[in-house]
Amino acid sequence: MEFKYAIPTKIYFGENCIAKNAGIFAQLGKTVMIVTGKHSAKASGALNDVVMVMDENKIECIIFDEIENNPSVETVEKAGKIAVQKKVDFIIGIGGGSPIDASKAIAVLAANPDIIATDLFKNDFEKVLPIIAIPTTAGTGSEVTSYSVLVRKDLQTKVSFGTEKTYPQYAFLDAKYTFTLGKSITINTAVDAFTHALEGYLANRSTVISECLSLEAIKTFGKSMRKLANFELDNNDRENLMYVSLLGGIIIAQTGVTIAHGMGYCYTFFKDIPHGKANGFIMREYLKLNYDVAKAKIDNVLNALDCSDIDEFADILKTILGDAPKLTVEEIQLYTELTQIQKGSMSNTPHEVNAEVIYELWSKI
Both 224 and 244 in a single domain? yes
Rounded to an integer, what distance in angstroms lies between the CA atom of residue 271 and that of residue 255? 28
Residue ending a domain, among 147, 177, 207, is 177
Summarised one tens digit per residue, pLDDT across range 68-115 is: 988 999 999 999 999 999 999 999 999 999 999 999 999 999 999 999
Rounded to an integer, what distance in angstroms lies between the CA atom of residue 260 and that of residue 196? 10
Q: Is the pLDDT of residue 3 over 90?
A: no
- Residue 1 in any domain: the answer is no
Q: Is the pLDDT of residue 324 over 90?
A: yes
- Residue 93 in any domain: the answer is yes
- Residue 214 in any domain: the answer is yes
HSE toward the beta carbon, residue 125, CA cutoff 13 A: 29
Q: Average pLDDT, stretch 297-311?
A: 98
Summarised one tens digit per residue, pLDDT across range 159-186 is: 999 999 999 999 999 999 999 999 999 9
2 confidence band (pLDDT: 50, 70, 90): confident
Both 245 and 150 in a single domain? no
- Residue 4 in any domain: the answer is no
Both 301 and 326 in a single domain? yes
C-beta neighbour count of 26 within 10 angstroms? 14
H helices of the chain, in order, are 17-20, 23-26, 40-44, 46-56, 73-86, 97-111, 183-202, 208-230, 235-255, 259-271, 275-290, 295-304, 310-321, 329-339, 343-347, 355-364
Q: Average pLDDT, stretch 295-323?
A: 98
Model pTM score: 0.93
- Average pLDDT, rounded, for the chain: 96
- Residue 149 in any domain: the answer is yes
Q: Average pLDDT, stretch 238-266?
A: 96
Both 172 and 188 in a single domain? no
Rounded to an integer, what distance in angstroms lies between the CA atom of residue 153 and that of residue 71? 11
- Number of structural domains (the chain) is 2
- Residue 3 in any domain: the answer is no
Q: Coil, helix or strand for 71?
A: coil
Both 115 and 240 in a single domain? no
Both 77 and 122 in a single domain? yes
Both 60 and 170 in a single domain? yes
Both 121 and 212 in a single domain? no
- Residue 199 in any domain: the answer is yes
Rounded to an integer, what distance in angstroms lies between the CA atom of residue 193 and that of residue 360? 26
Beta bridge partners of residue 153, listed in sequence order: none
231 confidence band (pLDDT: 50, 70, 90): very high
Both 208 and 311 in a single domain? yes
pLDDT of residue 157: 87
Both 167 and 55 in a single domain? yes
Domain CATH code at residue 115: 3.40.50.1970
Domain CATH code at residue 314: 1.20.1090.10
Our measurement of the distance from residue 144's CA atom to the centroid of its chain's CA atoms, rounded to an integer in Å, reads 9
Q: Is the pLDDT of residue 316 over 80?
A: yes
Q: Average pLDDT, stretch 127-135?
A: 98
pLDDT of residue 40: 84
Both 197 and 343 in a single domain? yes
Summarised one tens digit per residue, pLDDT across range 56-70 is: 999 999 999 999 988
Both 81 and 27 in a single domain? yes
Q: Is the pLDDT of residue 214 over 80?
A: yes
pLDDT of residue 39: 87
Residue ending a domain, among 177, 192, 220, is 177
Q: Coil, helix or strand for 223?
A: helix
Rounded to an integer, what distance in angstroms lies between the CA atom of residue 157 and that of residue 151? 6
The residue among 339, 122, 143, 136 whose CA lies nearest residue 252 is 143
Give the structural domain span for 33: 10-177
Residue ending a domain, among 177, 203, 237, is 177
- Residue 325 in any domain: the answer is yes
